[in-house]
Structure 1
Amino acid sequence: MQELSGKVAIVTGGAQGLGEAICRTLAAADVVTIVSDIREELAEKVAAEISAEGGKAIALKLDVTDENQILSAVEKVISQHGHLDILINNAGTDLTVSIEEMGIQDWDRILAVNLRAPFILSKAVISHMKERKSGHIVNIASTASKRAWANASAYHASKWGLLGFSHALHVEARPHKVKVTAVIAGGMQTPFILDRFPDTPLENLQDPKNVAETIRFILTQPAETVIPEVMVVPMNETSYP
């Protein structure tokens, strides 16, 4: 298994929910964790708590819909640390409305966060990783990339697209010793679900720490092994399969 100690990781949407769990899990494995989020104060809080517990974490304000911010952030991280080993494309958003109610701007925003941003972030880091002949990009998909339900057309479009993009990037990056993995996460006990659907029974959802631990496991695979796709769902998953 590969050691994670000393590696540098950017986690988008790292200030709460699954992103926060990933940041804490990676920091516990001695990864220098860049907690990136558009909500700077929350990112700073998470980074401060990780640092107080002995981990290495740095808050980074990042709007993933702004390509200039992305390019600047990646350049800054590589300049400060000398290398970037892991990119976790976790930031996501949704709007639960019918297609008649969804505005075009809402559609564009959801796809910008969920699909366009992983493309730009991956594009920004891939040359660096290819040059070093190492690196790992993890794209957080969803069971929404495997099936569909009502009032989530933009979310489904973005997650189906992200899964396809992830596999395409895996094919491109693999000859250069760069790994790409799509993590298809089922329902989790996070604000993403509970803030919108507060009546969801907690027993139907999984602790995001479980998904974060799966990501840590994926990242520690031997150099000659890559896991292109993995699904992690709660035992009482009601949406898929």
Structure 2
Amino acid sequence: MEKLQGKVALVSGGAQGLGQQICYQLAEAGATVIAGDIQEEKAAGTVKTITEKGGKAIAMRLDVSSEESVKETIAKIKSEYGSLDILVNNAGIDFTKPILELSVSEWDAAFAVNLRGPFLMSKYALEVMSPQKSGNIINIVSTASLRAWTEASVYHATKWGLRGFSHALFTEARKVNVKVTAIIAGGMSTPFLLDRFPDIPPQNLQDPKNVATKIRYIIEDDTDTVVPEILILPLMETSWP
């Protein structure tokens, strides 16, 4: 049953990893999916997989750190489809190094993508969703927003900030019937993690598809119930609890 038939969804970082799996799940549920990413060719690959299975999707170049790129992307979606019903703030970067080796430019770049990006995306998406009096905004946070480990200062700072922003956004967006959910996801078998830490035991990670299906379930709920935050972990993740 395609519960999201007629809905329009924008997924940042939709070219690979969790973002790609979210695109697959939302398209399978009937939504028209926009895979937004700075990696245009990879985003096109995500779209190709969806359309070959009969789904509806397009790729758009999207730089979440650029206000102009965000505004143009959302304006184009509104112009072409008439609505924006689902926003998934998934794009993220990290610099894994000690504070003494972390440059100011790297710190700023991580904040621009991981925290400023979701702010920009949510701000301009809400301009579309508010008159509709409906919508879902999903923020992909991390267990890094609940604890801290060494050589990950900027990632922790951005994800702690994103969790706080998500809860604040929830209190405002619900006034116009827009639901906001923070997804606190544990380690996943994605390039984001494995490209930097290839030796992580696979049993300590979860399939990103499993996280994407939980997100789909939350979005498909059309009742007046909302899930402000959910923690999704690999069963055997060693960094939790």
Alignment TM class, shorter chain as reference: over 0.9
Asked if structure 1 preserves the Cα contact closer than 8 Å seen for 2:2 and 2:29, the reply is no
**Alignment RMSD (CA, Å):** 1.2
**Runs of 4+ off more than 2 Å:** none
* Cα separation, 1, equivalents of 2:211 and 2:9: 17
Q: TM-score, structure 1 length as denominator? A: 0.98
Residue 64 of structure 1, CA deviation: 1.1
Which residue of structure 2 aligns with residue 15 of structure 1? Answer: 15
Residue 224 of structure 1, CA deviation: 0.7
SS at match of 1:60: strand
Unaligned runs of 5+ in 2: none
* Cα separation, 1, equivalents of 2:183 and 2:52: 29
Asked if structure 2 preserves the Cα contact closer than 8 Å seen for 1:19 and 1:90, the reply is yes
Which residue of structure 2 aligns with residue 65 of structure 1? Answer: 65
Aligned-pair identity in percent equals 56
Asked if structure 2 preserves the Cα contact closer than 8 Å seen for 1:142 and 1:185, the reply is yes
Unaligned runs of 5+ in 1: none
SS at match of 2:30: coil
1:1-241 matches, within 5 Å, as 3-241=3-241
Residue 40 of structure 1, CA deviation: 0.4
Q: Go from structure 1 to structure 2 and tell me whether the alpha carbon gap of 1:11 and 1:94 turns closer, same or farther (over 3 Å shift).
A: same
What amino acid does structure 2 have at the position aligned with 1:93? I
Residue 175 of structure 1, CA deviation: 1.7
Q: How many residues are treated as equivalent by the alignment?
A: 241
* Cα separation, 1, equivalents of 2:6 and 2:204: 36
Asked if structure 1 preserves the Cα contact closer than 8 Å seen for 2:145 and 2:163, the reply is yes
Residue 9 of structure 1, CA deviation: 0.4
Asked if structure 1 preserves the Cα contact closer than 8 Å seen for 2:2 and 2:28, the reply is no
Deviations 1:147-198 (A, max 9, x none): 0000000000000000000000000111211100000000000001111000
* Cα separation, 2, equivalents of 1:11 and 1:36: 6
SS at match of 1:130: helix
Q: TM-score, structure 2 length as denominator? A: 0.98
SS at match of 2:120: helix
SS at match of 1:65: coil
